[in-house]
């Protein structure tokens, strides 16, 4: 079977951009403290319950908003007498089972009877004026996966803007960033601003939502420089060197930590005809196409929950199996690795027809496509954004809440 070979130069260059190296080749959750000692912000009830007392609360959350005892934040604060009047839901819905990009209608939570207002209903992603008029304070509790194109960043930024414009306070219940141990990729050229790229940050930003919220305020990234009245309930026993395994799938097609670690390198296939495994049980852990040559590994995308109409549906795709190799250590050392996309581009020989306009929205710069088409290596392209990484690390320092 043909196997994908890492470029040693690419890995060595990638390692130089990482903030730290993995601690064990076989330990997917290596951390400076045991994972069970890391406490998410929502655990610190004594810090935020006084802020919610007597307030009409809007909760922006989904299935990831759980505490260590398995109880959802919604149920936790309701049991403490908090008046939650509205639930706001992001992409994939409050239950986290809708397809990527699928519009989600507003509804009612069956368990509590509380109205759910969808922020992914095709109407711009902002909380409506009606929503803002009904609440006194917004509580935000979503789990990020650490990439600029993960849409929860956009959801948070728009919620901050709505709060700022309406004089409402926002509380971020902070959670660890599973990719918080490195920074990689180009800073977004804002001509490509979109739902999958909303802030001038690298692809892998290495920050928690709480830190990003502070940076949005501090850098005055909201329209006209307005600022949100923001409080961050910090995680405990977390640092940027921690390896944190997510207890709940953040979205339907990120089934485990291997998919999350590969996500910064694999997502660009969304802007090509190549399947990245949507419609299988290991999305982002393979790539292939019916016309790719020289590979014995194959898979066939099917219509499944969370991927009802995946690319190359019901067609046998030939390509690369990443489910067991490379190792977690190699994946994290390489960081944002364009070798997968370059391999498929050269194999299919489609020239400009390989890329769709969505590619720039994901990678954030126009030079990447051009360099791939001109025959540049992944290492040569990565070198182009080295200055972006260095500049961003300095820019973000005042907003970091956790030890690097």
Superfamily for 36-244?
Uncharacterised protein PF07075, DUF1343 (3.40.50.12170)
Query: Given pLDDT bands bounded at 50, 70 and 90, which one contains residue 331?
Result: very high
Burial of 77 (0-12, 13-18, 19+ CB in 10 A): buried
pTM of the model: 0.89
Torsion angle of C-alpha atoms 343, 355, 270, 187, degrees rounded to 10: 90
Contacts of 270 (CB under 8 A, 6+ apart): 276, 358, 362
pLDDT at residue 335 is higher than 90 = yes
Q: Which tens digits make up the pLDDT trace of 251-279?
A: 989 999 999 999 999 999 999 999 999 99
Rounded (10°) angle between helices 209-218 and 152-166? 50
Specify the higher pLDDT residue, 213 or 94: 213
Residue 343 CA to residue 297 CA, distance in Å, equals 15
pLDDT at residue 174 is higher than 90 = yes
pLDDT at residue 1 is higher than 80 = no
Is residue 41 within a helix (H) or strand (E), and if so which, with residue range?
A: none
Where do the DSSP E strands lie in 9-114? 56-61, 83-89, 107-108
Where are the alpha helices (H) located in 195-248, listed in sequence order? 209-218
Position 29 scores a pLDDT of: 41
Query: Given pLDDT bands bounded at 50, 70 and 90, which one contains residue 34?
Result: confident
Specify the higher pLDDT residue, 283 or 14: 283
Where do the DSSP E strands lie in 119-277? 137-141, 169-173, 230-233
Where do the CATH 3.40.50.12170 domains begin and end in the chain?
36-244
CB 70 within 8 A of CB 40: no
pLDDT at residue 49 is higher than 50 = yes
Position 123 scores a pLDDT of: 82
């Amino acid at each position: 079977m043909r196997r994908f070979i890492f470029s040693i130069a690419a890995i060595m260059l990638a390692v130089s951009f990482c903030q730290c190296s993995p601690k064990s080749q076989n330990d997917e959750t290596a951390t400076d403290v045991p994972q069970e000692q890391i406490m998410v912000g929502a655990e610190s009830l004594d810090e935020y319950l006084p802020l919610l007392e007597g307030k009409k609360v809007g909760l922006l959350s989904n299935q990831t908003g759980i505490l260590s005892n398995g109880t959802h934040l919604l149920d936790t604060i309701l049991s403490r007498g908090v008046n939650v009047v509205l639930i706001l839901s992001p992409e994939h819905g409050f239950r986290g089972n809708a397809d990527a990009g699928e519009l989600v209608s507003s509804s009612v939570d069956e368990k509590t009877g509380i109205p759910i207002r969808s922020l992914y209903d095709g109407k711009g992603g902002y909380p409506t004026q009606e929503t803002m008029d009904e609440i006194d304070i917004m509580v935000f509790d979503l789990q990020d996966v650490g990439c600029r194109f993960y849409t929860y960043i956009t959801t948070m930024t728009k919620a901050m803007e709505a709060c700022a414009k309406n004089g409402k306070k926002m509380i971020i219940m902070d959670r660890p960033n599973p990719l918080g141990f490195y920074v990689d990729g180009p800073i977004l050229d804002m001509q490509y601003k979109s739902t999958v790229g909303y802030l001038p940050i690298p692809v892998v930003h290495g920050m928690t939502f709480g830190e990003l919220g502070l940076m949005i305020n501090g850098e005055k990234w909201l329209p006209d420089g307005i600022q949100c009245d923001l409080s961050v309930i910090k995680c405990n026993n977390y640092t940027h060197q921690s390896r944190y395994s997510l207890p709940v799938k953040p979205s339907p097609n990120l089934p485990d930590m291997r998919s999350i670690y590969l996500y910064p390198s694999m997502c660009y296939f969304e802007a090509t005809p190549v399947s990245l495994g949507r419609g299988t049980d290991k999305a982002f852990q393979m790539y292939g196409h019916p016309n790719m040559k020289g590979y014995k590994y194959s898979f066939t995308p099917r219509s499944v929950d969370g991927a009802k109409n995946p690319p190359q549906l019901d067609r046998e795709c030939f390509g690369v199996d990443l489910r067991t190799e490379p190792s977690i250590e190699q994946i994290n050392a390489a960081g944002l690795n364009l070798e997968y996309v370059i391999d498929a581009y050269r194999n299919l020989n489609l020239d400009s027809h390989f890329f769709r306009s969505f590619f720039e929205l994901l990678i954030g710069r126009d030079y990447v496509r051009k360099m791939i088409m001109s025959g540049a290596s992944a290492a040569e392209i990565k070198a182009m954004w080295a200055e972006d990484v260095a500049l961003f690390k300095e820019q973000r320092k005042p907003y970091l809440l956790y030890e690097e």
